[in-house]
Structures are given as structure tokens and as C-alpha cells.
A and B are shown apart, each in its own frame.
Chain A
């Protein structure tokens, strides 16, 4: 965890409401693990609280973020030109664990696919077979689907408006796979918290272990302010920023 002076290497639109931001972190001695995140100061002269973003890839002194434009801050980021200096704190949080597994299931909802992209690359390099179920409201928001199709051993895309191959939610599609008797050794998921809870129920039903990456509003990102305090299943409270964002599915 370190404050790093970074800069924008590239800023590319990849969907009508999302973009890819590539950052230079050459001068940092640290590298990120899948599931970790960074806190970024948005240099627009107005927002001064840092914002947390999942890391969608990290390699060779570069970090890639997949960002959905949701408000003033993310719109400002989309407008950043190449070489703009950026003040970031990274890497933060506890990432995904990499189990001894042959075959894993990944369930993504919307922009929640972001940390899973990095994870899939990591798993693939270790010879682990990956099946991705990716759900969004509409086909346009199945971010980087072509790239993911190439990266995964198998992909299932579903949308709520049936503009892609299948209609429904990622949870429905994942349930269908499991009900058909397909076996997995581990499950990873990221998306809105209600979806994560549904995936957790599903995993329990099929006696599948797994992990979820949680999203939260944050202030410090380093485990001090308790803005992201989250109550887990046993009643204990965890700080999503420092004790997460990746938690065992059983904690939800």
C-alpha cells in the first residue's frame, strides 16, 4: 500500500457508458493481485475524496481499470488526456485466493466483471479452466465480451432484455449450469451486493466454496475511517477496504 505518482497511458471508450484507463505505475515497487483495488484522486479541481476502483489488469508497470461512467467523478476521468499525472494509492485490500482447482465458475454482474478479468488471466496462466457467466441489463453492457470470450474456456452471456444470446440474470444462468450437473471446484463472483447474496445461496445449495468481491462507498480505503464497515453472516463487522473487498461467500 503506497501513494504513487502515476500517469495516464491510454483512455479508451469500450462501451456507451464505460471506458478503459491504463495507468503507468513504473515507479511503484508494488504489483497488484487479482481482487485488489486502488484509490484514485480525480484531478478535476472539484472532487477531493479519492474513489476506489477494481484493478482489471496489472502487468509490467501498468494497471488497467475498467470504469463505468456513473457520475461527475467518472465523467472527469473519461475526459483525462494521455500523460495526465494521477495520484493513486495502491495496491489495496485483500484479493482473491487461488485454490488448488481444475475448474472454476465465475459469475459477473455488470461492471462487476472488472476484477474478474484480471483473475481469469491469472487462473488461466495456472492452467485452471474458467467458465464465466456474465449478466447485464443489455448486450451493450456486456463489457469486453469479445476479449472475455477469448480469455475464458467457456462463456455464457445473458441480458435482462434478451439482446444477447440468453435472457435472464447471471444468477439464473449460473443456477442452470449447476442444475444441469456441471461440476466446479470453486466459484468467484462480483457484482451488486444483492446478486452476491443470491450467488452465495446458490453456492451453498450446491456445496460449492467460493469468494465474492464486494463493492462499497469508501473514504480512506486503508482501513481507518469505517465508512465501508459491513456486517457479515456471524454478526461481526468487517472493513471492506482492508479486510475485503474479497470475502468468502459464506460470510455474506
Chain B
């Protein structure tokens, strides 16, 4: 292990800053070898809901200029099956930090999921509360409302008081600071900034929505400047633990996100397009840091804010 790449976000220690994003690592133990998951600092499970979800109709993905629209629709096996089939097998190596992602539209159902997980906290290190999936049918996402965000985080914290909780927010709000503050004041240990951007693609031939679920979430290189904007803004105002998510494709992107204020970064789209690239990214990051004269990753976090 190379210590210069270790990082800590809200007390969660990672051997390197790369985290495999939710939906790109399956349920961790079942991820194909080609992904090289053990080389990541951490990995997030597919988002869990109370009941199994079938997800959205096809097509579920659409390529756009430097980005992807996805509308998977939270297809997952439901918490009961997860607890039985996957939870005891999440720890594939001693040093891969395991994040369980929990989401859904209904706060009560979401809390029930957390209650079902509560007796088994030894199997995971941290919780990612997905309050921002754009591909579900409700009128708004929980993280579009400061009061709903606050309430859900408070409940989550009361159910899992000892588990570090990261709240994954949507960028589609008028004031990201208000939502961030609400989450943190309610007890969130950190923020994941951000989920995909609600977006639309039309099929050029038919001029109808390209995705079966009509709208999708935009990710990939196209959204990196938007992620940097959000991370920078929130770090500047709140100096809180942040995991950047959105458009990080290589080590240079990761360095920028860290400089903007993130302490770790998620790889999503990049992970799906170039599975296994992580090993090279880790090496490149090490070299790039040395070339820039940083002796550790920690010196880099928030660098863009220094005078």
C-alpha cells in the first residue's frame, strides 16, 4: 500500500481516494474480476430499496456528447434478499471500505430498510443515503427539500447512530448550500456531491424520448465542471467532508476534485466504460502527486481555496 494516497473522509479511512460508485460495482462480492474492485479505496453497493424493484423500461442508457444518460430505475433485489444473499459477503478484502447505498421515495420505507440493516452493521463501514435518484416516479427527490432531507437524515442517524452516514444529493436545486446544511445539521457525517443530472435525450429519427423512462440522469466527462462547481461551493462555505461524484474519469480529474474540496472521489461511468482502469489510475495519481510536489493526498484537499 502506498501511504501517500491514503485519505480520510468523516473518519472513514481509505487506502486511496477512489470509490466505485453505486450501480457500477453490483453488490461488491459479485462484481466481475475485470473491475479490479480490491484496488479501489472503497465501493458502494447498488442502491437498496425496501421491496425489490424491477427498474425502468428499455432503453435504459443513451450516449450523448461526452456523457451518458441512464434510466435504470433503481432495479435491485430488495433489502430482505440483500440481507440474506449479499450482506454477509460484502467484505471481499480487509482494506476495501464498504458503503451500503439505501434509497427510495418514501421516508418510512427507507427507515424500514435501515432498521433491517441495523443488526448487521459489522458487515459494512458506511452508509450512503441516496436521496437523489432522478429515475423514480415521485414528483420530487427528497434532497430537493431541506426539511425532508433533515427529517430523513435524523431518522437514519437514530437508527444507525454509530455508522458514518454520507448523503448523496441531487445537483438539481436552487441552493445546494441550504440542502447541504440541512443534511449536516441533522447529523450526516459527510456529503456525496452529486448524483446524476436530470436530463433528456431525444431519438434523432423519431424525435421522441430516447429512454424508456423518458428522463434520465446525465453522467460522464460532460458533468465534471458541474461537480467541481458544487464541491467548490459547498467546501468553501461549510468545510465539510465531501466525496465528489460526477465526471471523474482519470487521475487529473480526481486531483481537481480534491483540490476543489473533496476528500475522496467516486468513479462511475469511467468504471463501466473502462473496467479495470483503476490500477493504472492509482499508479498515475501517485506519480502525478509526486511531480506536483505533494507528499500526501491530504495536502491537496481544498488546495484551490488556499490564498
Contacts and interface: CB of A to CB of B under 8 A. Distances in A.
Contacts of B272: 219-220, 224-225
A48 B63 contact: yes
Contact of B63 (A47, A216, A226): A47
A247 to B, nearest CB: 16
B275 A222 contact: yes
Interface residues of A, number: 26
Contacts of A223: 26, 32
A223 to B, nearest CB: 6
A141 B220 CA distance: 37
A86 to B, nearest CB: 14
B173 interface: no
B24 interface: yes
Interface of A: 1-3, 41, 46-50, 89, 216-220, 222-229, 231, 237, 242
A226 B60 contact: yes
Given A1-B32, A89-B275, A225-B272, A48 B23 contact: no
B136 interface: no
Q: How large is the interface on B (under 10, 10 to 19, 20 to 34, 35 or more residues)?
A: 20 to 34
A220 B54 contact: no
Nearest to B270: A48
21 contacts: A1-B34, A3-B34, A3-B275, A3-B276, A41-B273, A48-B273, A50-B273, A219-B70, A219-B272, A220-B272, A222-B32, A222-B34, A222-B35, A224-B24, A224-B25, A225-B23, A226-B46, A226-B75, A227-B60, A229-B55, A237-B55
B32 A224 contact: yes
A229 B276 contact: no
A42 to B, nearest CB: 10
B63 A224 contact: no
A2 B75 contact: no
A62 to B, nearest CB: 22
A217 B59 contact: yes
Interface of B: 23-26, 31-35, 46, 54-55, 58-61, 63, 65-66, 68, 70, 72, 75, 220-221, 272-276
A220 B20 CA distance: 14
B63 A49 contact: yes
A224 B35 contact: yes
Contacts of B273: 41, 48-50, 219-220
B88 to A, nearest CB: 21
Mostly, the B contact residues are loop
Given A1-B32, A48-B66, A226-B60, A220 B75 contact: no
- Of residues B25, B55, B58, B66, which shows the largest number of chain A Cβ atoms within 10 Å of its Cβ? B58
A1 B35 CA distance: 11
A220 B59 contact: no
Contacts of A3: 34, 274-276
Contacts of B54: 231, 237
A220 B75 CA distance: 16
B26 A224 contact: yes
B75 A229 contact: yes
A2 B60 contact: no
Contacts of A220: 24, 272-273, 275
A3 B59 CA distance: 26
Nearest to B204: A71
Question: What 10 A-B pairs come out closest when comparing CB atoms?
Answer: A220-B272, A227-B61, A219-B61, A227-B60, A49-B63, A222-B32, A217-B59, A226-B75, A226-B72, A1-B34
A226 B55 contact: yes
A229 B68 CA distance: 17
Given A227-B59, A227-B60, 19 more contacts: A2-B34, A3-B275, A41-B273, A48-B220, A49-B273, A50-B273, A218-B61, A220-B273, A220-B275, A222-B34, A223-B26, A224-B25, A224-B26, A225-B23, A226-B72, A227-B61, A227-B72, A237-B54, A242-B32
Contacts of B276: 3
Nearest to A47: B63
B53 to A, nearest CB: 10
Nearest to B71: A227
A224 B43 CA distance: 13
A242 B272 CA distance: 14
A225 B24 contact: yes
A234 to B, nearest CB: 14
B34 A216 contact: no
A231 to B, nearest CB: 7
A2 B275 CA distance: 9
A231 B274 CA distance: 27
Contact of A89 (B25, B31, B34, B75): B34
B60 A217 contact: yes
B75 A237 contact: yes
Given A1-B32, A49-B273, A242-B32, A216 B58 contact: yes
Contacts of B220: 48
